[in-house]
Structure 1
Amino acid sequence: MDTHLVEAGAGREWAGPTAVRAIAVPDEATSLFVQARPGLLKIANRIVGDTGEAEDVIQEAWLRWQRADRTVVRNPSALLRKTTVRLAINLVQSAWKRRESCASPWLPESTDTDATPEAVAERHDAADGAVLLLMATLTPKQRAAYVLREGFGYPYGRISELLGIGVANTRQQVSRAQERLAAHRPRQPVDAVAHRRLVQAFLAAAEYGDLAHLEAVLTGHGHVGNS
């Protein structure tokens, strides 16, 4: 069944990627979704790495929002972000989703000191999804090498010192991590406590430069799980 979403104040309605003239005034639920949609799309795009697939995620999130019992929802924005993250991860992890190039999870960007609370929440949710994917897909050494190299630009020599392996092995760990992520083959369930610990270290490094704590968590000194 076709679903139309009216863009507030724009005199247009959204139906997947296509916009047409509005034919109805949006209700409160629609208005809430329209307001949240730009942020949700950013989250989805950061996780799946493809604009078209991100649009599909948002369409599914909209359908679920329509079916939800909104009378018991205390924080609509948080629910929509959580739904989007889970749908995006499910899409990436689907066995039939194979891409020829590596679609890497979102890695830290420079911190925006003027970011709104909503933008901060979006960034945290995207990081949450990316870390979950990394933990489900990569071995601890692959994960550490990949995050430090691709996310924070560490030289291979420094990563090899932290992991206690040779430089050639370190390069191989990064390469294998990229291959696993490209194949979208999650290898294990993720411990919730370990996931939360790594997300916190990940964000602290990205936002405040606390690289020492991230190094400790990634190399096992911070007790992150999934070994």
Structure 2
Amino acid sequence: MSAPSPDMKSPDVLRADGPAGDDLDIALDHFLAHRKRLFRIAYRIVGDVSGAEDVIQEVWLRWQLTHRAEIKKPGAFLTTATTRLAINVIQSGRHRHETSADPQLAELGDDSAHDPLLHAERATALEAALALLMARLTPDRLAAYVLRKGFGYPYSDLAKLLRISAPNARVVVHRAQARLDSDRERPVPVESHRRLVAAFRTAASTGDLDCLVRALVEEDGVHRSARRIRD
């Protein structure tokens, strides 16, 4: 479902005289140039207009507080910030009470869109979402979460893959969900991320999960990590 077109009003800002004001004007120009695309990304993850608008307002506030001179690609920075904040929103207790808390991984991996802009937005959101999952989850939890939440992988099959019992497979998925609320992250290897994104897209477009399973299993220590369920 396509998102409604967002209101393109400028964010509320206090303009100052001199260099500081000029810098804020430039920041606003960068933000407005990407705002429509950022809204669509937030909407596809959060699932409602007001929630997406809240995300965009928070992105604007963070963009104002960022050391922008160090940002070489404002569009990439804003896209990543939007995706992370949107995922944080759907993991919040309030949002979990109101609607599903699962990132729409399967929808983001859908390559059937004929609109090149929509296709690019989904691809960007998927890349950022998987990077966040890789940064916050151990290899066993990453495998369990992606396969279960993205493709409805049976717990019995997860148990075989992770070499644990089916009840423990449920625990791994549950703890992966909880771990996403944490802000603790580890570096994500570029090549591992690229491989996982490609495998996910293949699985989403063909329904064949073999390549995705291999990519997840190849993550360092997946079987070793799966032998114990860590907090």
TM-score (norm 1): 0.66
Q: 1:90 to 1:174 in 2, by over 3 A?
A: closer
1:20 maps to: none
Shift of 1:128: 0.9
Shift of 1:139: 1.1
Query: What amino acid sits opposite 1:186 in the alignment?
Result: R
**1:172-187 equivalences in 2 (<5 Å):** 172-181=171-180, 183-187=181-185
Shift of 1:125: 0.7
- Structure 2: distance between partners of 1:54 and 1:140: 29
Q: 1:107 to 1:192 in 2, by over 3 A?
A: same
- Structure 2: distance between partners of 1:90 and 1:139: 18
- Structure 2: distance between partners of 1:167 and 1:42: 37
Normalized per residue, the structure richer in helix is 2
2:141 maps to: 142
2:78 maps to: 84
Query: What amino acid sits opposite 2:182 in the alignment?
Result: H
**Contact 2:143 / 2:217 at 8 angstroms: preserved in 1?**
yes
Q: 1:112 to 1:137 in 2, by over 3 A?
A: closer
Normalized per residue, the structure richer in strand is 1
- Structure 2: distance between partners of 1:92 and 1:226: 29
Please list the CA deviations of residues 96-120 of structure 1 after superposition, one character each: whole Å capped at 9, or x if unmatched.
xx83255544412173634222211
* C-alpha RMSD of matched pairs (Å): 3.9
**1:45-60 equivalences in 2 (<5 Å):** 45-46=43-44, 50-60=51-61
- Structure 1: distance between partners of 2:44 and 2:74: 16
Give the share of equivalent positions with the same residue, in percent.
Answer: 38
Note the residue ranges of structure 2 that are not aligned, 5 or more in a row: 13-26, 223-231
Q: 1:93 to 1:226 in 2, by over 3 A?
A: farther
Query: What amino acid sits opposite 1:207 in the alignment?
Result: S
TM-score (norm 2): 0.65
